[in-house]
């Protein structure tokens, strides 16, 4: 994207891709010329940004970031300080900034860096898929990354393969489906290999399996209380297990979460009523939706259309014509 001898031009381009930076030389005496290089590639919700400058530099991130910034050294070293934490970025160690963080960095002249800018919503979605529930707060990673650890070593090898593919004119990542798969793999690998605030939830050891009779009782409870505003917590309490265990049992045996299972059953009951209208005692679509626990009509209509490919009113009209 950019090759320049201007510190200001380099700073502007880097700030546009990442966040607002203050960049200045470590030494007031220029012993070597500044040669800035900026390259970038986008892969779904991940942006890869390569930077080099060729001189010793201090860098301050002036704003708290709203994304994840994973930093790897292609060469050289970078000392990074973030709040009370400190790490060194080199060939053996990386660093990972989480949202709301700011940092100061001191880079040597040989330092060449690769950033992975990961949008928060993408990581949240991937974590939700792995946990079976939405995260209650943003993921906060440990700052320092030990790239020699077995899992991170595998992850960085995969990243290297991706970068080589991006450098090819007709690489696999040029196809949108392949790009989506790469993103999922990178995010899953990062969540499983770098410690963070949800690591314990992802690596529960010796998890007892929920007995089939308990799962059956939970499914029966859902069927019996479709018309009531039942919560996942109430279902778990009724069958005597934790909410997390209930969610895990549904994901492993039903393939969905308890709340989505309830919604699926309710939508099926709504469709059944819409397809069998009573001409002697007509009931509106709204009344049917309320009957089966849907209180937000716009959300209900959107969910119904996603499931059946038509609006609830279209189903009712077609049934009346028949």
Q: What is the pLDDT of residue 244?
A: 79
Looking at the fold, whether 33 and 120 belong to one and the same domain comes out as yes
Which are the contacts of 304, defined by CB distance < 8 A and separation ≥ 6? Answer: 267, 270, 271, 311, 312
Q: What is the pLDDT of residue 207?
A: 61
Could you count the other beta carbons within 10 Å of the beta carbon of residue 84? 6
pLDDT band at 30 (very low <50, low <70, confident <90, very high): low
Q: Is 322 exposed, middle or buried (0-12, 13-18, 19+ CB in 10 A)?
A: exposed
CATH code assigned at 238: 1.10.10.60
pLDDT band at 90 (very low <50, low <70, confident <90, very high): very high
Looking at the fold, whether 250 and 141 belong to one and the same domain comes out as no
pLDDT in tens, 291-320: 898 888 899 999 999 999 999 999 888 877
Which are the contacts of 191, defined by CB distance < 8 A and separation ≥ 6? Answer: 123, 126, 127, 130, 139, 198, 202
Burial readout 162-171 (b: 16 or more C-beta within 10 A, e: otherwise): bbeebeeeee
pLDDT in tens, 213-269: 999 999 999 999 998 888 888 998 899 888 878 888 898 888 889 999 999 999 999
pLDDT at 51 over 90: yes
The length of the chain in residues reads 322
Looking at the fold, whether 168 and 216 belong to one and the same domain comes out as no
Q: What is the pLDDT of residue 206?
A: 44
Domain of residue 123 covers: 2-201
Please provide the average confidence, as pLDDT, over all residues in the chain: 88
pTM of the entire structure? Answer: 0.64
Q: Is 7 within a domain?
A: yes
């Amino acid at each position: 994207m950019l090759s320049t001898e201007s510190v200001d031009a380099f700073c502007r381009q880097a700030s546009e891709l990442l966040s607002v930076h203050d960049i200045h030389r470590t030494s007031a005496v220029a012993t070597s010329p500044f040669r800035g290089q900026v390259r970038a590639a986008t892969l779904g919700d991940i942006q890869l940004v390569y930077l080099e400058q060729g001189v010793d530099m201090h860098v301050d991130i002036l704003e708290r970031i709203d994304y994840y910034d994973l930093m790897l050294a292609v060469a050289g070293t970078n000392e990074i300080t973030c709040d009370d934490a400190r790490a060194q970025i080199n060939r053996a160690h990386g660093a990972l900034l989480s949202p709301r963080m700011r940092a100061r960095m001191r880079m040597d002249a040989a330092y060449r860096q690769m950033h992975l800018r990961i949008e928060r919503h993408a990581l949240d979605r991937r974590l939700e898929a792995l946990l079976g529930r939405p995260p209650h707060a943003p993921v906060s990673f440990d700052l320092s990354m030990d790239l020699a650890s077995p899992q991170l070593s595998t992850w960085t090898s995969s990243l290297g393969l991706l970068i080589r593919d991006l450098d090819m004119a007709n690489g696999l990542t040029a196809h949108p489906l392949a790009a989506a798969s790469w993103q999922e793999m990178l995010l899953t690998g990062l969540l499983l290999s770098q410690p963070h605030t949800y690591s314990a939830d992802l690596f529960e050891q010796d998890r007892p399996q929920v007995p089939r009779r308990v799962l059956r009782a939970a499914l029966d409870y859902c069927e019996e209380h479709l018309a009531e505003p039942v919560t996942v917590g109430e279902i778990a309490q009724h069958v005597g297990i934790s909410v997390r265990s209930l969610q895990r049992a549904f994901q492993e045996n039903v393939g969905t979460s308890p709340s989505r299972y309830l919604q699926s059953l309710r939508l099926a009951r709504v469709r059944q009523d819409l397809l069998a209208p009573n001409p002697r005692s007509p009931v509106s679509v709204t009344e049917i939706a309320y009957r089966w626990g849907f209180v937000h009509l716009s959300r209900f209509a959107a969910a119904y259309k996603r499931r059946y490919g038509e609006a609830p009113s279209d189903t009712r009209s077609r049934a009346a014509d028949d």
